[in-house]
Structure 1
Amino acid sequence: MSIFSPDSSIGKRVQSFPVKLTLLLVSTLTVMAGATIAPALPAMRAQFATVDNADYLVRLALTMPAIFIAVGAPFVGVAIDRVGRKPLLLWSLLMYGAAGSSGLWLDSLGLILVGRAFLGFSVGGIMTTATTLIADYYVGITRGQFLGLQAAFMALGGVIFLTVGGFLADIGWRLPFAIYLLSLALVPCALWLLPEPDRRVPLVTSVAGEVVSERAPWLLIVLTYGIALLTQIVFYLIPVQLPFYLQALVGASASQSGLAIALSTFLAAISSILYRRVKTRFNFMTIYAVAFLNMGLGYVLIGLAANFLQILLGLAVAGSGLGLLMPNMNFCLTSITPEALRGRVLSGITTFFFLGQFLSPLVSQPLSQWIGLGATYGLAGLLMLMLSGTTMIVAAKWR
Structure 2
Amino acid sequence: MSRPPLPTPRSAGAVQLALLLVGSCMPVLGAVLLSPVLPRMEEEFASVGGAEILVPVVLTLPALFIALGAPFAGVIADRFDRKRLLIGTMVAYSVFGTAPLYLDSLHAILVSRALVGVCEAAIMTCCTTLIADYWTGRRRIRYLGVQTLVTTVSATLFFALGGALGANGWRTVFWLYLVAALVALPMARFLWQPEQPAHEDGQPVPARRLAVPVLVTVVGGLVFYTLIVQLSYVLDEAGVSDSAAIGGITALMSLATAIGAGLFAKATWFGLRPLLVAEFALSGLGLLLVGGAASVPVVVAGAALTGFGTGLLLPTLLTWAVDGLSFAQRGSGTGVWTSALFLGEFLSPLAVGGLAAAAGLGGALGIVGGACLALALLVAVLLRGASGQHAEVFGRAAA
TM-score (norm 1): 0.85
Instruction: Determine the structure 1 residue equivalent to 2:36.
Output: 39
1:177 equivalent among 174, 181, 187 = 174
Of residues 219-228 and 43-52 in structure 1, the stretch that sits farther from structure 2 once superposed is 43-52
2:251 equivalent among 243, 262, 265 = 262
Is the Cα–Cα contact under 8 Å of residues 133 and 194 in structure 2 kept in the other structure? Answer: yes
2:166 is equivalent to residue 155 of structure 1: no
The Cα shift of 1:123 comes to 0.8
Of residues 170-179 and 370-379 in structure 1, the stretch that sits farther from structure 2 once superposed is 170-179
What number of residue pairs does the alignment pair up?
380
Is the Cα–Cα contact under 8 Å of residues 196 and 327 in structure 2 kept in the other structure? Answer: no
Partners of 2:162 and 2:300 lie apart in 1 by: 18
Partners of 1:180 and 1:257 lie apart in 2 by: 26
Identity of aligned residues (%): 33
2:171 is equivalent to residue 140 of structure 1: no
| Matched residue SS, 2:356 | helix
Of residues 329-338 and 43-52 in structure 1, the stretch that sits farther from structure 2 once superposed is 43-52
1:53 equivalent among 50, 56, 81 = 50
Instruction: Determine the structure 1 residue equivalent to 2:395.
Output: none
Instruction: Determine the structure 2 residue equivalent to 1:354.
Output: 342
The Cα shift of 1:310 comes to 3.8
Instruction: Determine the structure 2 residue equivalent to 1:4.
Output: none
Instruction: Determine the structure 2 residue equivalent to 1:207.
Output: none
Of residues 227-236 and 87-96 in structure 1, the stretch that sits farther from structure 2 once superposed is 227-236
| 1:53-77 deviations in Å (ceiling 9; x for gaps) | 3343233222200111122112211
How does 1:206-221 map onto structure 2 within 5 Å? 217-221=206-210
The Cα shift of 1:84 comes to 0.8
| Matched residue SS, 2:34 | helix
User: 5+ residue gaps in structure 1?
Assistant: 1-6, 204-213
Change (3 A) 1:178 1:236: farther
Of residues 74-83 and 41-50 in structure 1, the stretch that sits farther from structure 2 once superposed is 41-50
Partners of 1:300 and 1:84 lie apart in 2 by: 45
User: 1:262 corresponds to which letter in structure 2?
Assistant: A
Partners of 1:196 and 1:238 lie apart in 2 by: 38
Is the Cα–Cα contact under 8 Å of residues 205 and 332 in structure 2 kept in the other structure? Answer: no
Is the Cα–Cα contact under 8 Å of residues 159 and 263 in structure 1 kept in the other structure? Answer: no
Q: Which has the larger radius of gyration?
A: 2
Instruction: Determine the structure 2 residue equivalent to 1:240.
Output: 229
Partners of 2:250 and 2:171 lie apart in 1 by: 19
| 1:24-82 deviations in Å (ceiling 9; x for gaps) | 22112234631332333444445444443334323322220011112211221111111
The Cα shift of 1:303 comes to 1.7
| 1:360-391 deviations in Å (ceiling 9; x for gaps) | 23323333333332222222111112212222
How does 1:6-155 map onto structure 2 within 5 Å? 9-12=8-11, 14=12, 16-31=13-28, 33-155=30-152
Change (3 A) 1:27 1:57: same
Partners of 2:348 and 2:266 lie apart in 1 by: 31
2:314 equivalent among 326, 351, 364 = 326
Of residues 188-197 and 174-183 in structure 1, the stretch that sits farther from structure 2 once superposed is 174-183
Instruction: Determine the structure 1 residue equivalent to 2:372.
Output: 384
Change (3 A) 1:56 1:246: farther
Partners of 2:152 and 2:206 lie apart in 1 by: 29
User: 2:268 corresponds to which letter in structure 1?
Assistant: K
Change (3 A) 1:292 1:176: farther
| Matched residue SS, 1:117 | helix
Superposition RMSD in Å = 2.7
2:220 is equivalent to residue 223 of structure 1: no
Partners of 1:381 and 1:78 lie apart in 2 by: 35
User: 2:208 corresponds to which letter in structure 1?
Assistant: L
Change (3 A) 1:99 1:299: farther
The Cα shift of 1:144 comes to 1.0
Is the Cα–Cα contact under 8 Å of residues 93 and 119 in structure 2 kept in the other structure? Answer: yes
Of residues 376-385 and 167-176 in structure 1, the stretch that sits farther from structure 2 once superposed is 167-176
| Matched residue SS, 1:336 | coil
Partners of 1:312 and 1:175 lie apart in 2 by: 32
How does 1:278-357 map onto structure 2 within 5 Å? 278-280=267-269, 282-306=270-294, 308-357=296-345
User: 1:87 corresponds to which letter in structure 2?
Assistant: R
